[in-house]
Amino acid sequence: APAKAKKITSKANNVELSSDGEVEEGSWEMEEEEDGSSEEMVDDYGASSSEEEELLPIEKAALKQKLDRGGLSEDDSEEEEEEEEAEAEEALGEASKQKIGQKEEESSDLQLNLDIDEQFKLPTNEQIEREDILFICDIRKLYTCSIPPDLHIIHQRIKGNMEVLQDFVVKREEGRTRQEYLALLRRDMAAYYSYSDFLLTKLMDIFPLPELINFLEANEVPRPVTIRTNTLKTRRRDLAQALINRGVNLDPLGKWSKTGLVIYDSSVPIGATPEYLAGHYMLQGASSLLPVMALAPQENERILDMCCAPGGKTSYIAQLMKNTGMILANDSNAERLRSVVGNLHRLGVTNAVVSNCDGRQFPKVCSCLLWGVLGGFDRVLLDAPCSGTGVISKDPAVKTNKDEKDILRCAHLQKELILSAIDSVNAASETGGYIVYCTCSIMVEENEWVVDYALKKRNVRLVATGLDFGKEGFTRFKDRRFHPSLKSTRRFYPHTHNMDGFFIAKFKKFSNAIPQAQKEPAVEATTPSTVPGTVTEPQPKKKKLEGSKIDKEQKPPQPALKKRHSLQAQRKPLKA
């Protein structure tokens, strides 16, 4: 007959160990001091074993207590123990199921039912307040909160909300307005993508809702690494072959660029190769190539790069000019000019002069050099400082650290710079007279508003940029209307063109004269005398202004002023 296993009860934790090495759970029993006689323990199969071992006093007392209490046999007591263990396990299972059910109920309160068969419903105010506790820490950067927001629920609700807004008349909930859906969508997107409410409101005004989601998703992915071949020292074909031999996976940037290469991966640092140190290429974003292409500099011209740091566009201009003519590379930050000088030396640029001046005061400070020696510039490139809303993938801090004051401050600076750039150009240039204005922002206040302001303040007009792709600029935005020629400006987005957000406008200056603001003629304060016995004498006519041009440039009088003049003319002098 096979050997029967015996139970050995452990002293430490009252766990029963079988002789064949198996562990069986035992129930914890309270110790009571009772006198009990030694009795034989029955094995698992109900037969007494030849190798009987004496029980410990505590085990004897517990066994006697069970027998006295129930009057059961030892086999029955073991069965009762098994039943109690099973009941305990069932009780624990029910308790765990209840806890899981409670959690599911709580999550179901937060998660809206987005099934296809059921309609999307807006959450109640209580549910919104409950969710605020979860993700207000993420919005306000309070890292003391230990409960993270449930991004899956928020993402599903964004999708459901978008479906309702696209077919609002059919899918909307009764008694709910479109503004309530938009407010919930803005709140959810701010929590999911970590944007400030101000910036997200601005973006919702610029993009349609489906395109806005694509823009936000594109900002979460870095743009591809691109380089520009320096044709002053090498050709793109030779450079590509040299980098491929070093283990770099690359492709041409696109049909629109003859010098760009896109880098997918590299086994060597792309910014420390012998080719880079020799000045054969420049690490440069794809979008920063476009302003220089729009400027289209010609050989032997005088070019001004008003905000040149770190020197990528300046070196590209010198490359297109083949180191002829003259480039004035200016920047107001002396620290950033160090990188400009280093890059120009490395790339072999010999026709550039570096200056450190405030671009706003450039025509005044350098008037002797500008007009006395140079005779004005043929072309000017202005890459104006901006809020950086087009390069969020490079600087995610823009999501939360920009507000209305920052946007308006940048717009004011850009208006001053663009007027200064226009004043630095010679309209009588045989080959030039062009100004290119660009920013790495997508805000209308920094782009179309600034361009429209320049059209009103200077004798310039917009011309085609020469770029075959890109979206047209806005001619109307909310309650504002811009000049119709703003259609010739170009906008570039990360989700559409896979490059940083950019805006480019190209001006042609047709007159060096600065138009003066016309002052309205002052109305005389004296009125015809109404004192009896006095007669008003007719006043002599004023001489007409000399020159027919001035008469044409004068603005017609305002309607209110016309009415006032007509009333004075109708008054007749009183007789004596």
Binding-site residue positions for S-adenosyl-L-methionine: 307-313, 331, 358, 383
Taking the CB of residue 576, how many other CB atoms lie within 10 A of it? 7
> For residue 26, which of 11, 16, 34, 37 has the smallest C-alpha distance?
16
- 208, with CB counted inside 10 A (0-12, 13-18, 19+), is exposed
As given in the structure block, the two tokens for residue 401 are 């650290």
Return the residue matching tokens 């190769």: 273
Q: CA angle at residue 540 from 538 to 544, to 5 degrees?
A: 140
HSE-up (13 A, CA, CB side) for residue 475 = 8
Binding residues: 307-313, 331, 358, 383
How many whole angstroms separate alpha carbon 227 and alpha carbon 184?
Answer: 42
Q: Tokens representing 430?
A: 């045989």
Residue 235 to residues 227, 255, 298, 319, 389, Cα–Cα distance (Å): 13, 16, 20, 12, 34
Q: What share of the chain is helix, strand, coil (3-state, %, to 5)?
A: 45, 15, 45
CA-to-CA distance for 521 and 538, rounded, in angstroms? Answer: 20
Q: Six-digit token pair at 16? A: 């029963």
Reply yes or no on whether 368 is catalytic.
no
Sign of CA dihedral 56, 58, 61, 66: negative
Evaluate whether 472 touches 490 at the Cβ level (below 8 Å).
Answer: yes
Tokens of 552: 């044409």
- Give the residue ranges of DSSP H helices in 483-558: 494-497, 548-553
Query: Positive or negative, the Cα torsion across 252, 253, 254, 260?
Result: negative
Confirm if 173 and 119 have CB atoms less than 8 A apart: yes
Please tell me which residue in 366, 386, 438, 440 is annotated as part of the active site: 440
Q: How many CA atoms lie within 13 A of 124 on its CB side?
A: 4
Residue with tokens 């101000």: 198
3-class secondary structure, 266: strand
Strand 434-439 with 379-383, pairing = parallel
CA distances from 455 to 246, 344, 483 (A): 51, 34, 8
Q: What is the DSSP letter of 425?
A: B
**Centroid of chain to Cα 545:** 56
Computed from CA positions of residues 122, 125, 127, 130, in that sequence, does the dihedral angle turn out positive or negative? positive
How wide is the angle at C-alpha 220 spanned by C-alphas 216 and 221, nearest 5°? 120
> How big is the CA angle at 467 (ends 466 and 470), to the nearest 5 degrees?
145
**Whole-angstrom Cα distance, residue 216 to residue 532?**
79
As annotated, the active-site residues are 440
